[in-house]
């Protein structure tokens, strides 16, 4: 080993000893980003048959190809699920599954994919019908970042609900890094969500989003504050993020915070609004004089030409 390399190694070893919290040595294997990336790519092929192939997929062969995809995905996912469960078990994380349950977890996951596709059909339709720039549904699937982000979130939500640690967040972060849309796997998202443009959208873990909601770029559904235990650590597992009811539209740059904040159905939240209180159904919320002003959407429509 060269002298210069020895000096660098010595410095890093000293750092490893001093700052051990970001070491993972002599422990269990963790899920890998490379493995998760491969899983995400294969899941997209499974959820949208024929869209991500370099050749035409004929209806006569789709059953065989689907079976082959599942058989290829199963060992890839089993490895990462098992590693996640082993880590969770070792760390005493609140998980419903033991490491030996990985095969059962996968069976439940694969059996949920038809329900995931049912939601994704609604998402694609919402984007196509909600964007006059969308020329066809194929364009939506191939090029709209919200579809990729929602696909991974909906798959990750299944694993999250089963109780798998680590892996669900890695799935959504794969999509986040590619799309700029940060959807936590714990969020409960109804069908027909259209995230227009999408860059900078953040949806927190305990957010609840109803059906046929439309969100523009830069929107945050976040926490208002964090309760702490006596030792100063954060209290986990509480409802921290807002509830967005059906058919709500949230324009660019709006920030909606708090676990007790409910945005009533069919409401419109204007651009750059800062909202920390609930609003009733059919509201319109705009910033005026540095504060959020809530009006009845139907009465305000003529004034604001909504």
HEC profile of the chain: CCHHHHHHHHHHHHHHHHCHHHCCCCCCCCCCHHHHHHHHHHHHHHHCCCCCCCCCCCHHHHHHHHHHHHHHHHHHHHHHHHHHHHHHHHHCCCCCCCHHHHHHHHHHHHHCHHHHHHHHHHHHHHHHHHCCCCCCHHHHHHHCHHHHHHHHHHHHHHHHHHCCCCHHHHHHHHHHHHHCCEECCCCEECCCCEEECCCCCEECCCCEECCCCEEECCCEEECCCCCECCCCCECCCCCCCCEECCCCEECCCCEEECCCCEECCCCEECCCCEECCCECCCEEEEEECCEEEEEEHHHHHHHHCC
CATH homologous superfamily of 200-306 equals: Hexapeptide repeat proteins (2.160.10.10)
Q: What are the residue boundaries of the structural domains of the chain, listed by start?
A: 28-181, 200-306
Please list the pLDDT of the chain residue by residue as tens digits (306 residues): 777 799 899 999 899 989 988 888 877 889 999 999 999 999 999 999 999 988 888 898 999 999 999 999 999 999 999 999 999 888 877 667 777 889 999 999 999 999 999 999 999 999 999 999 999 999 999 999 999 999 999 999 999 999 999 999 999 999 999 999 999 999 999 999 999 999 999 999 999 999 999 999 999 999 987 777 767 677 777 899 999 999 999 999 999 999 999 999 999 999 999 999 999 999 999 999 889 898 998 776 656 555
Considering the domain 28-181 in this protein, what is its CATH number?
A: 1.10.3130.10
Q: What is the pLDDT of residue 166?
A: 95
Task: Check: pTM over 0.85? Answer yes or no.
Answer: yes
């Amino acid at each position: 080993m060269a002298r210069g390399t020895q000096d660098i190694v010595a410095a890093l070893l000293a750092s490893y000893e001093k700052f051990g919290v970001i070491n993972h040595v002599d422990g269990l294997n963790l899920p890998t980003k490379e493995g998760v990336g491969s899983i995400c790519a294969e899941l997209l092929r499974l959820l949208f048959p024929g869209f991500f192939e370099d050749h035409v997929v004929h209806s006569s062969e789709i059953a065989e190809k689907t079976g082959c995809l599942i058989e290829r995905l199963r060992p890839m996912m089993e490895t990462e699920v098992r590693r996640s469960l082993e880590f969770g078990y070792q760390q005493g994380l609140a998980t419903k599954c033991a490491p030996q349950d990985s095969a059962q977890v996968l069976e439940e996951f694969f059996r949920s994919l038809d329900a995931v596709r049912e939601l994704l059909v609604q998402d694609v339709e919402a984007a196509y019908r909600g964007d006059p720039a969308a020329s066809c549904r194929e364009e939506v699937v191939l090029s709209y970042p919200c579809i990729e982000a929602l696909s991974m979130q909906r798959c990750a939500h299944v694993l999250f609900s089963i109780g798998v640690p680590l892996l669900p967040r890695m799935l959504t972060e794969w999509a986040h890094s590619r799309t700029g849309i940060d959807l936590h796997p714990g969020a409960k998202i109804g069908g027909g969500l259209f995230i227009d443009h999408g860059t900078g959208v953040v949806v927190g873990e305990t957010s609840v989003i109803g059906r046929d909601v439309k969100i523009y770029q830069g929107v945050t559904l976040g926490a208002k504050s964090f309760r702490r235990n006596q030792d100063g650590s954060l209290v986990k597992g509480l409802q921290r993020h807002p509830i967005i009811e059906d058919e709500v539209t949230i324009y660019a740059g709006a920030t909606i915070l708090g676990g007790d904040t409910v945005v009533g159905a069919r409401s419109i939240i204007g651009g750059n609004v800062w909202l920390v209180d609930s609003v009733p159904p059919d509201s319109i919320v705009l910033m005026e004089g540095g504060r959020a002003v809530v009006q009845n959407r139907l009465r305000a429509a003529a004034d604001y030409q909504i």
